[in-house]
Structure 1
Amino acid sequence: MKTDFNEKQIQILLIAETLFAENGFEGTSIRTIAKEAEINVAMVSYYFGSKEKLLEALIVYRTSDLKIQIENLSVEDLDPIEKIDKLIELYVNRIRCNKGIYRILHFEFATEEKEDKLKVLNEVRDRNLKSLETIIREGQQKGIFRKDVIIPLIPPTIMGTFFHFSMNKAYFKKLLALETDEDFENYIQTKFKTHIQQTIKALLIYES
């Protein structure tokens, strides 16, 4: 699938992302997307073909630059622990800045029936997992990381923790004495990110 989109296509993708996140994928029609984008339905079909293909394009649009960042990180001249820290920072920042698409994928496509329709989603997951495996295998070869780590469980550990925290925003704002939404977002970028880094490294590194 193409990774470069023109200005009108990006406008449609962003509107679709907002509507999917607010109303659900099934609850959003191509007609509604076209109305919000102030174009006719035929134009959406011309650009994307179907609602499913539009969602696939949205996934590609939101993840293509992350692919490059993760692949570059895996070959950087850093030790494996530093790479893991930077990888988690990439994940947390990406989810935080793109909550809409990740919420759609996390909650709307959790069934086997729906997931099978989104081949591109599994391609993204497999690609990112391969880069993660490269980093962890390097750490294992150097005797830094444990050999019994279940690598495929690391991404859902990161994302599951993020979504639990994010979806219970009011509770955690009160619990952590975070007065504003800005305080909450700053907390994610600092202490929450550090907590995830510590958690993943605790899974990876041999106990001293």
Structure 2
Amino acid sequence: MAEKEKIDKKEHLLNVAERVFGELGYDGASTRLLAQEAGMNMAMLNYYFGSKDGLLKAVVERRMASTRKSFEEIALQDISSWDKITQVVQLYVSKVATSKYFHKIIFREISVLRPGGTSEVTDFVLENLYANTMHVQQILEEGIKKGEFRPVDVEMTIASIFGTVNYLINSRRLASKILNMDLLDDQVLQEEMKPRLLAYLHDSLKTHLLK
């Protein structure tokens, strides 16, 4: 099999797996169903990713690595800490608002308590999430050190940013009532909620961080 064909098949399987895991959850998505939805046999799925755990890890890593790289690039720019944090927030909101299946996967993995404690997959998700938040922490601490930001509670600020975004995306039915807009409609999510959320976070962080 040509290398390009192998890459294309892997990408196709990752796209299908993200949707199926997002719709049905890890436990509801059998390897047989995943292979069937991707138009492959189970042997091919195992050949590429080893197992269902391996497939879910690959789905998570693909998205997380992209976000982490973008956060790193923003953190290294020669611009003010305020510009960095606003870029990070805009990027994160945009990614969350355009990848609804992926963030359902993440929310489930960090929320579900399985018998015997966390699974290897859950630990993997948590480690990746934590690595991404570290770049935000770096920016906030840099801003405080330079005197751009007030000496705020950095950890609570991070929780506030990510918590607000994730709550609205992962609790859409309740958020729809609170915000009086249909967040189950992707067009409403993109054209109405996203700019409203960005404006809120911008104003909140400006009041919270700047002297």
TM-score of the aligned structures, taking structure 2 as reference length? 0.82
Residue 3 of structure 2 is matched in structure 1 by: none
Q: Whole-Å Cα distance in 2 between the matches of residues 47 and 9 of structure 1?
A: 7
Compared with structure 1, are the counterparts of its residues 133 and 184 closer, same or farther at alpha carbon in structure 2 (3 Å cutoff)? closer
Superposed, which structure 2 residues align to 1:121-160 within 5 Å?
121-151=125-155, 153-160=156-163
Q: Whole-Å Cα distance in 2 between the matches of residues 92 and 154 of structure 1?
A: 16
Residue 46 of structure 2 is matched in structure 1 by: 45
Residue 171 of structure 1 is matched in structure 2 by: 177
The CA deviation string for residues 171-198 of structure 1, in whole angstroms up to 9 with x for no partner, is 256x2599x6424311233221111222
Conserved in 2, the CA contact under 8 Å of 1:109 and 1:115? Answer: no
Structure 1 gaps, min length 5 = none
Q: Whole-Å Cα distance in 2 between the matches of residues 176 and 139 of structure 1?
A: 35
Moved over 4 A (4+): none
Residue 201 of structure 2 is matched in structure 1 by: 196
The CA deviation string for residues 61-86 of structure 1, in whole angstroms up to 9 with x for no partner, is 11222222111100112111111111
Q: Which amino acid aligns with 1:133?
A: Q
Task: Report the CA distance between 1:23 and its aligned residue.
Answer: 1.2
Q: Whole-Å Cα distance in 1 between the matches of residues 139 and 166 of structure 2?
A: 24
1:118 to 110, 119, 122: 122
The CA deviation string for residues 103-146 of structure 1, in whole angstroms up to 9 with x for no partner, is 11112432462355434323322321221122111111122223
Compared with structure 1, are the counterparts of its residues 177 and 117 closer, same or farther at alpha carbon in structure 2 (3 Å cutoff)? closer
Identity %: 26
- Name the one with the larger helix percent: 2
Q: Whole-Å Cα distance in 1 between the matches of residues 199 and 119 of structure 2?
A: 31
SS of equivalent to 1:35: helix
Residue 182 of structure 1 is matched in structure 2 by: 187
SS of equivalent to 1:20: helix
Residue 37 of structure 2 is matched in structure 1 by: 36
SS of equivalent to 1:114: coil
Residue 6 of structure 1 is matched in structure 2 by: 7
SS of equivalent to 2:111: coil
Q: Whole-Å Cα distance in 1 between the matches of residues 210 and 90 of structure 2?
A: 18
Q: Whole-Å Cα distance in 1 between the matches of residues 123 and 96 of structure 2?
A: 21
Q: Which amino acid aligns with 1:199?
A: S
Instruction: Count the aligned residue pairs.
Output: 199
Q: Which amino acid aligns with 2:177?
A: Y
SS of equivalent to 2:74: helix
Deviates more, 1:89-98 or 1:136-145: 136-145
Task: Report the CA distance between 1:155 and its aligned residue.
Answer: 4.2
Q: Whole-Å Cα distance in 1 between the matches of residues 127 and 191 of structure 2?
A: 32
TM-score of the aligned structures, taking structure 1 as reference length? 0.83
Q: Whole-Å Cα distance in 1 between the matches of residues 139 and 167 of structure 2?
A: 26
Q: Whole-Å Cα distance in 2 between the matches of residues 119 and 176 of structure 1?
A: 35
Q: Which amino acid aligns with 2:42?
A: V
Structure 2 gaps, min length 5 = 1-5
